[in-house]
């Protein structure tokens, strides 16, 4: 049965559960058996809670047999990223100091999924404190890409995307501050949605430290799946006012601008001299833009926000990212970094280190530049519905855990580039809070998946999801890794 269940979408599995074609216990057992057999090859699922999951699945089966009303995800077996606190289940965020941490409450996103009836049976791997574009840590080791175990599944939600690609789970929840949903989704050939900032509560996400109430600037929590429809369904359950605001606020996201690709206004930004991408990635984006045009979309390859400068936008992104991550550094470390900056030394070390020491007035200046960019994007999306752009300059990279991260390099079409350029196309949209759906659009000549970012106007998540769905239909859906 595990092979029958493994690559069913969440929607298909739920339909089969409701129709009585299989029970919640059978679905759970099928996926966990597959994981037990194949996970050692890729090490993407790092913690399980099968006793609790079977009890919950059994209770759901019994309630369904009694004809009781059940939640929209009732009986769906799934995993979540190990940065999201899960009550009674080890939650480490890849950090040795949290190797024994068992939360007494759920992260907000986990609580919403459980309330909808999901059976969360496992946690998936990530880099320490979700701070890398690969997924490895001292607690659980390295996760491999199901497409090529010599390559990374991306990060920081690499375990999430890898588990989806391997058929261990139909649905996942990841987080994204600098591309952590989008990069793994592209590198593993799966679908991921980075929501508009603020519409899905990130409370209970680590970092910050367990119990932190602050929700970091730029950071979002969002759905990952093998189909766009599953991401859309999950977003509907995850999005909404958090417990601070639900007493008086309600979220009503607007519907997709177009019911089909006919008339969809598509801008294409497939490459840029500031951050050149592998020619095969750019060609794949141009190809899918042509397919959209062939079914009635209006496509433009030169449209950009008025006066927009990629380099300046990238600078603002890194300033804001560094400030958002500064709470993870000790006062002594910040003093040392400030001294380096004063000497004019290049940033060295972890993700976002360059902006950690900024004074508040510098953050205010960067935030004002962000708001000016948001205004230009709002004007742009008055004329265009979505924009297609690369996810990263390259497809999934070989494992590289050398230190410091900022000194690593990647190969892009035979050229050696900084490792950190993997985040530059991410920052274009993350810095300004825009929704982005990543969907696979083909394979590179080296056999690895290629994804595209479908970006859209703030709070119009359903427009990016709909456009990604049109693309999904044109390219034939999510590919399956060879041998899986």
Tell me, yes or no, if 180 is annotated catalytic. yes
Q: Are strands 265-268 and 298-300 parallel, antiparallel or unpaired?
A: parallel
The whole-number pLDDT of residue 339 equals 81
Q: Quick one: pLDDT at residue 82?
A: 98
- Residue 201 a catalytic site member: no
Instruction: List the catalytic residue out of 93, 135, 156, 175.
Output: 156
d(CA 263, CA 286): 18
Q: Decide if 418 is catalytic.
A: no
| Residues 344, 352: Cα–Cα separation, whole Å | 17
In contact, 379 and 442? CB cutoff 8 Å? no
Percent of the chain clearing pLDDT 90 (strictly above): 89
Q: Which of 2, 180, 201, 392 is catalytic?
A: 180
- Is residue 294 over pLDDT 70? yes
Evaluate whether 95 touches 187 at the Cβ level (below 8 Å): no
Looking at residue 410, what is its pLDDT? 98
pLDDT band at 2 (very low <50, low <70, confident <90, very high): low
Rounded CA-CA distance 439/442 in Å is 10
> For tokens 């991921």, what's the residue?
192
Please tell me the predicted confidence (pLDDT) of residue 459: 98
pLDDT reading at 252 higher than 60? yes
User: Which is the CATH superfamily of the domain at 265-475?
Assistant: Amidase signature (AS) domain (3.90.1300.10)
| Residue 310 banded pLDDT, cuts 50, 70, 90 | very high
Token pair recorded at residue 346: 């290049």
When the pLDDT of each residue in the chain is averaged and rounded to a whole number, the result is 95
Please name which of 210, 81, 171 lies closest in space to residue 135, comparing C-alpha atoms. Answer: 81
456 in Cβ contact with 435 (< 8 Å): yes
| Type and span of the H or E element at 426 | helix 424-430
pLDDT, residue 343, reads 81
**pLDDT reported for residue 359:** 86
Average pLDDT over residues 378-396: 98
pLDDT tens, residue by residue, 190-201: 999 999 999 999
| pLDDT given at position 174 | 98
- Fold observed for domain 2-238: Amidase signature (AS) enzymes (3.90.1300)
Q: Which of 23, 81, 160, 196 is catalytic?
A: 81
Domain locations in the chain? 2-238, 265-475
Please report which confidence band the pLDDT of residue 341 belongs to, taking 50, 70 and 90 as the band edges. confident
> The pTM is what?
0.97
Per-residue pLDDT tens over the stretch 171-229 = 999 999 999 999 999 999 999 999 999 999 999 999 989 998 989 999 999 999 999 99
């Amino acid at each position: 049965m595990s092979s029958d269940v493994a690559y069913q979408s969440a929607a298909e599995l739920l339909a089969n559960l409701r129709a009585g074609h299989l029970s919640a216990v059978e679905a759970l057992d099928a996926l966990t058996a597959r994981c037990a057999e194949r996970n050692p090859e890729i090490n993407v699922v790092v913690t399980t809670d099968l006793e609790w999951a079977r009890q919950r699945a059994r209770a759901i089966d019994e309630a369904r047999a009694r004809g009781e009303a059940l939640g929209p995800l009732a009986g769906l077996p799934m995993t979540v990223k190990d940065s999201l606190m899960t009550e009674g289940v080890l939650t480490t965020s890849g950090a040795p100091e949290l190797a024994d941490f068992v939360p007494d409450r759920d992260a907000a996103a986990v609580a919403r999924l459980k309330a909808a009836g999901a059976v969360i049976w496992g946690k998936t791997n990530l880099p320490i404190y979700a701070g890398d574009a690969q997924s490895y840590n001292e607690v659980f080791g390295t996760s491999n890409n199901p497409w090529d175990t010599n390559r990374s599944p991306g990060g920081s939600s690499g375990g999430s995307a890898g588990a989806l690609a391997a058929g261990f789970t139909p649905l996942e929840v990841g987080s994204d501050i600098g591309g952590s949903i989008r990069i793994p989704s592209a590198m593993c050939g799966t679908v991921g949605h980075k929501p508009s900032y603020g519409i899905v509560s990130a409370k209970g996400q680590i970092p910050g430290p367990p119990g932190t109430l602050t929700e970091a600037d730029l950071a979002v929590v969002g759905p990952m799946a093998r189909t766009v429809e599953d991401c859309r369904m999950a977003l509907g359950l995850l999005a909404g006012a958090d417990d601070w605001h639900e007493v008086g606020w309600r979220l009503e996201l607007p519907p997709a601008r177009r019911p089909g690709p006919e008339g969809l206004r598509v801008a294409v930004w497939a490459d840029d001299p500031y951050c050149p991408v592998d020619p095969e990635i750019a060609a794949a984006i141009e190809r899918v833009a042509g397919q959209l045009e062939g079914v009635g979309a209006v496509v433009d390859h030169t449209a950009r926000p008025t006066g927009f400068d990629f380099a300046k936008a990238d600078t603002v992104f890194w300033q804001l990212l560094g400030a958002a991550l500064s709470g993870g550094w000790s006062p002594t470390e910040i003093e040392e970094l400030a001294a380096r900056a004063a000497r004019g030394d290049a940033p060295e070390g972890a993700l976002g280190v360059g902006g950690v020491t900024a004074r508040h007035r510098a953050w205010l200046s960067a935030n004002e530049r962000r708001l000016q960019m948001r205004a230009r994007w709002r004007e742009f999306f008055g004329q265009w519905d979505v924009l297609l752009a690369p996810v990263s300059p390259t497809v999934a990279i070989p494992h590289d855990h050398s230190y410091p991260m900022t000194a690593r390099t990647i190969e892009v079409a035979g050229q050696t580039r900084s490792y950190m350029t993997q985040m530059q196309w991410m920052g274009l949209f993350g810095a300004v809070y825009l929704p982005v759906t990543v969907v696979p659009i083909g394979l590179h000549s080296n056999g690895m998946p290629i994804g595209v970012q479908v970006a859209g106007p703030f709070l119009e998540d359903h427009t990016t999801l709909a456009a990604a769905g049109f693309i999904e239909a044109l390219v034939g859906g999510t590919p399956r890794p060879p041998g899986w």
